[in-house]
Amino acid sequence: MLTISNLRVSYDDVLAISDVSLTVEPGKIVALVGGNGNGKSTTLRAVAGLNAADAGTITFNGEPIHKMPAHRRVPLGLSLVPEGRRLFPKLTVLRNLELGAYTRDDKHEVAAGIGQMLDLFPILKERATQLAGTMSGGEQQMLAIARGLMARPKLLMLDEPSWGIAPKFVTKVLDVIQQVNETGVSILLVEQNLQKALNIADYGYVIQTGRIVMEGAGQTLLHDERVKKAYLGL
């Protein structure tokens, strides 16, 4: 579904990622893990079209997209849930969901989609008319994921979904990610919490200083002694 080959991205001549290659197969959860500042978010932003690629290619369902404007990538089936959620805090839950469907023209389909999101995320049904900025971090993360799904993505990219939320909500969020995946949506998950990310991932990549240094099945990486020592403190 997604193929990234030899991707290079820089910020004001400072290299952020130097040679990233990875693939996401249809229907799978793929985790991109590593410490802060190693290029995880930059990779996602490049796929979404928010960071320009200096070199390398990005192909989605067989179509090169690395030179395509960001707004043209969403209708192809790419949706990014950014780090920090980036909701519209002074708008209601329902209005945030509606804005997530800005690429869709059929109002009846949009209404049906909102209904599906409220069924998938019961807490949002309870908070439907509440302003997004007044909800807890975990509830906001649920809304951010639901808003991302309103675009009907084939590939949902999640940037640090456990960031800034209570531990009890982290498990709930990861459960929701698996539920979304079970509906047929592929997932590219960026997460600093390696243990939780690799535990649900079909396949994983470890990124360090802008390069992929390890890859393998999620459970294989999780039990790799090098990963345990370098990232899990075991």
Band (234; pLDDT cuts 50, 70, 90)? very low
Range of 202's domain?
Answer: 2-86+153-232
Number of domains in the chain: 1
Nearest to 153 by CA among 117, 187, 191: 187
C-alpha span between 98 and 160 (Å, rounded) = 23
Scanning the structure block, which residue is given the tokens 């708008």?
91
233 has a pLDDT exceeding 60:
no
Is 12 domain-assigned? Answer: yes
Does the pLDDT value for residue 201 go beyond 70? yes
- Give the CATH number for residue 21: 3.40.50.300
Does the residue 119 lie in any domain?
A: no
- 102 close to 75: Cβ distance less than 8 angstroms: no
In a domain, 98, yes or no: no
Would residue 75 count as lying in a domain? Answer: yes
Tokens of 24: 């996401």
Please identify which residue in the block is written with the tokens 């709930």. 172
Task: Tell me whether residue 143 is in a domain.
Answer: no
49 occurs within a structural domain: yes
Calculate the CA 30 to chain-centre distance. 10
pLDDT over 70 at 95, yes or no: yes
Q: Is residue 178 part of a domain?
A: yes
The rounded distance, in Å, linking the Cα atoms of 229 and 234 is 5
Would you say residue 69 lies in a domain? yes
Q: In this model, does residue 108 exceed pLDDT 50? A: yes
Residue given tokens 């099945």 in the structure block: 217
